[in-house]
Amino acid sequence: MTIDLFITCLNDAMFPRTGEATVKLLERLGHEVRFNEAQTCCGQMHFNSGYQEDALRLVRHFVETFRDAEVVVAPSGSCVGMVRDLYPRAAEWAGDEELLAEVNALAPRVFELSEFLVRHLGVEDVGAYYPHRVTYHQTCHAMRILRVGDAPLRLLRNVRGLKLAELPAVEQCCGFGGTFSVKNPETSTAMLADKVQSVLSTRAEACTAGDNSCLMHIGGGLSRLQAGTRTVHLAEILASTEAEVFA
């Protein structure tokens, strides 16, 4: 299958290895991977902060970029959630019928990586090797907007060498919430403190998730504590093999 990657602005600028891992993984599974260089950002940050007109520019840009894609896959539940759940709202509220029709045609073909692998391709064992104790954080948008369910866990359980440690209060938000972490830093920090404590209680070497925004938040807290536990994107674990350690 020919897969169009949506790498997301955060991954492009700050976590390129997640994108690289996604490419490796999908190619290893035998797919042709394309990266349309016209892509930028999904507009979630703007939309969620109340700048809906500005977000619309980015919605239109996304639609133009990926209009002809067979499927679009992104290593981010949050950005895919924006496309699938909120692009229709953005178009509706702007009263743009034409955009709404385009969005409705494109959005169902946009997938988060783990749901694409498990639900769409029917693959649960990607042949990965990662000999570490890992805990998995269920990110809110993947869980409640995309309903990816246990797709990431199914993938992780099939990673050779990996010991999966259950994260307490896994359904609780880490407190990132985009600009929420900047606009309400004290409340966000209180949420993060509990999440970090949960992560540390698992005695895992690494905390993984399908979204670098949440991991950036959790990792930022762990780093400030010099906790000795790191964060790693799910794609990087899945891309790792005995021959090539990615994460």
Q: How many chain residues are in contact with other proteins, going by CB under 8 A?
A: 77
Nearest to 136 by CA among 205, 80, 182: 205
Could you say which residues in the range 140-159 bind other proteins, by CB under 8 A?
140-141, 144-145
- Can you tell me which residue has the tokens 């407190």? 175
* HSE-up of residue 247 (Cα within 13 Å, Cβ side): 32
Going by C-beta distance under 8 Å and a sequence separation of 6 or more, which residues neighbour residue 226? none
The verdict on 127 binding other proteins (CB under 8 A) reads: no
In the complex, what is the shortest distance from the CB of residue 118 to other proteins, in angstroms, rounded to a whole number? 21
CB contact at 8 A, 142 and 245: no
Task: Identify which of residues 201 and 223 has a Cβ nearer to other proteins in the complex.
Answer: 223
Q: Which of 2, 104, 187, 201 binds other proteins (CB under 8 A)?
A: 187
The verdict on 167 binding other proteins (CB under 8 A) reads: no
Could you say which residues in the range 4-63 bind other proteins, by CB under 8 A?
7, 9, 11-17, 19-20, 23-24, 27, 35, 37-41, 43, 45-52, 54-55, 57-58, 61
Could you say which residues in the range 60-79 bind other proteins, by CB under 8 A?
61
- Three-point CA angle 237, 241, 247, nearest 5°: 35
CA dist., res. 13 & res. 35, Å (int) = 15
Task: Identify which of residues 98 and 171 has a Cβ nearer to other proteins in the complex.
Answer: 171
Task: Name the residue type at position 19.
Answer: G
Could you say which residues in the range 95-124 bind other proteins, by CB under 8 A?
none
The verdict on 170 binding other proteins (CB under 8 A) reads: no
